[in-house]
């Protein structure tokens, strides 16, 4: 197997979702994809300031370059740590660590303007939606409750209170995503079960066909 084939095999094994994947493998691949996306975004953010500086293009946040660099480097470091946790500790702890990372990023970027407009409430939908991909239903519900508590703490930190409309919208969208995730999970399990039954039936037919051919051959020989 040459280098190109090894790379293709690695990508298929770690990132490509298949209908026959178990829930455990599928959620592991989802985490790999999400970590890859976050790492890619971090690398792009790290490259933007030097490229703009090289071509003398004003990028509008010169006063926050250090913050952008440090944030991107911290994100890359967290991604590496999560990968190590996934490899050496547990995929469940890796998923939890990723959810904590996403929630902390949103929490760290909160300000009164975003909170009062309700925009930040819907940013918190991101970890809720991701939890439906990375965890079973009971875990997703628990994470959603924790995130709602964090939203209240986020508002209280600035002496504000979340709008009931925003919270209702968050609850409705969260419920739909969790319900859809559960339906998808059951559909995939049913598909895998049907595929297994079909394969077993095909193997039985092949076995009977071989036995029949063997018996017919013995009859003609006798």
> Half-sphere exposure of residue 96, counting CA atoms within 13 Å on the CB side?
9
Q: Tell me what pLDDT residue 81 has.
A: 93
Q: Would you give the distance in Å from CA 103 to the centre of its chain?
A: 14
- pTM (whole model) above 0.85: no
Same domain, 205 and 160: yes
Buried b (16+ CB within 10 A) or exposed e, 134-169: bbeeebbbebbeebbebbeebbeeeeeebeeebeee
Q: Of the residues 109, 128, 158, which one is the last residue of a structural domain? A: 109
Same domain, 1 and 101: yes
Same domain, 95 and 118: no
Mean of the pLDDT values across residues 89-117? 82
Q: Tell me what pLDDT residue 84 has.
A: 92
Same domain, 121 and 87: no
Top-confidence residue, 193 or 156? 156
- The segment with the largest mean pLDDT, out of 56-60, 130-134, 169-173, is 130-134
Q: Which of 147, 136, 28 is nearest to 91 (CA)?
A: 28
Same domain, 9 and 104: yes
Same domain, 222 and 119: yes
Domain count along the chain: 2
């Amino acid at each position: 197997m040459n280098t190109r084939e090894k790379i293709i095999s690695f990508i298929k094994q770690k990132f490509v979702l298949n209908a026959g994947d178990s829930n455990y493998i599928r959620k592991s691949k989802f985490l790999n994809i999400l970590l890859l996306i976050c790492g890619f975004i971090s690398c792009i953010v790290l490259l933007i300031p030097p490229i703009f500086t090289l071509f003398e293009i004003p990028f509008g946040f010169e006063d926050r370059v250090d913050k952008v660099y440090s944030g991107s480097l911290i994100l890359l470091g967290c991604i590496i740590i999560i990968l190590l946790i996934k490899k050496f500790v547990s995929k469940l702890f890796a998923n939890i660590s990723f959810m904590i990372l996403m929630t902390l990023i949103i929490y760290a970027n909160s300000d009164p303007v975003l909170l009062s407009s309700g925009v930040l409430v819907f940013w918190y939908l991101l970890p809720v939606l991701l939890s439906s991909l990375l965890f079973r239903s009971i875990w997703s519900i628990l994470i959603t409750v924790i995130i709602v508590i964090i939203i209240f703490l986020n508002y209280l930190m600035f002496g504000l209170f979340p709008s009931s409309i925003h919270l209702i919208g968050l609850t409705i969208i969260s419920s739909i995503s969790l319900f859809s995730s559960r339906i998808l999970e059951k559909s995939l399990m049913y598909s895998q079960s049907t595929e297994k039954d079909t394969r077993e039936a095909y193997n039985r037919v092949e076995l009977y066909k071989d036995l029949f051919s063997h018996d017919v051959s013995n009859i003609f020989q006798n």
